[in-house]
Amino acid sequence: MRFPRNTRIFRGQLDAAPFAGVFFLLVIFLLLNSALVFAPGVPIQLPEALNLPGAATPILVVAVDENGQFYYENQVIDQERLKEKLQAEVSDARQPLTLVVQADKKVMHEKLMGLWLLARSVGIKEIIHATRPPVAPTAAARTGAANER
């Protein structure tokens, strides 16, 4: 049984207007998607490091921005109030706590030392400086990984 064919092969030129319209809509969507989205919070650029250990005990997180302002529980906090909060957390904890410091890489070392001494004074013995993995592995990291194999 033969069925009649109603379709013909298109042999003309393609119209560029629909393709241009779709292209420009795509460009508009990409530009609006990235430029107009507001990322809430305080931008903190963590330093890069490879293969650092994590914490085995419960953690408390304190962030420090590049101006030296402290953030605890996602709220701006001064040093005296931070000491009170950390002391309360240590007294309520059943096991030792670890303080994770998320400090911007531009923070002055004196500010970090003050935070570390404050944590020691309330009874926190382990302090970890938060880092992020590098975007692209360095040459030293590649040779170190090759030596581990």
- From first to last of its 149 residues, the chain has per-residue pLDDT tens of 777 778 777 777 888 899 999 999 999 888 877 666 677 778 888 888 887 777 888 999 999 999 999 999 989 999 999 999 999 999 999 999 999 999 998 999 899 999 999 999 999 999 998 888 888 766 655 565 555 55
> What CATH number has the domain bearing residue 97?
3.30.420.270
- Residue 34 lies inside a defined structural domain of this protein: no
Q: Is the pTM of this model over 0.85?
A: no
For residue 106, the enclosing domain spans 39-149
What is the tally of structural domains in the chain? 1
- Residue 110 lies inside a defined structural domain of this protein: yes
- Residue 30 lies inside a defined structural domain of this protein: no
Q: What is the pLDDT of residue 69?
A: 93
Contact of 35 with 42, CB cutoff 8 Å: no
- Residue 115 lies inside a defined structural domain of this protein: yes
- Residue 53 lies inside a defined structural domain of this protein: yes
Q: What is the pLDDT of residue 46?
A: 83
Locate tokens 């460009």: which residue? 27
- Residue 10 lies inside a defined structural domain of this protein: no
Torsion on CA atoms 64, 133, 136, 46, rounded to nearest 10 = 0
Contact of 70 with 80, CB cutoff 8 Å: no
Locate tokens 């420009």: which residue? 24
- Residue 3 lies inside a defined structural domain of this protein: no
Q: What is the pLDDT of residue 63?
A: 94
* Range list of β-strands (E), the chain: 59-64, 70-72, 75-77, 98-103, 126-129
- Residue 82 lies inside a defined structural domain of this protein: yes
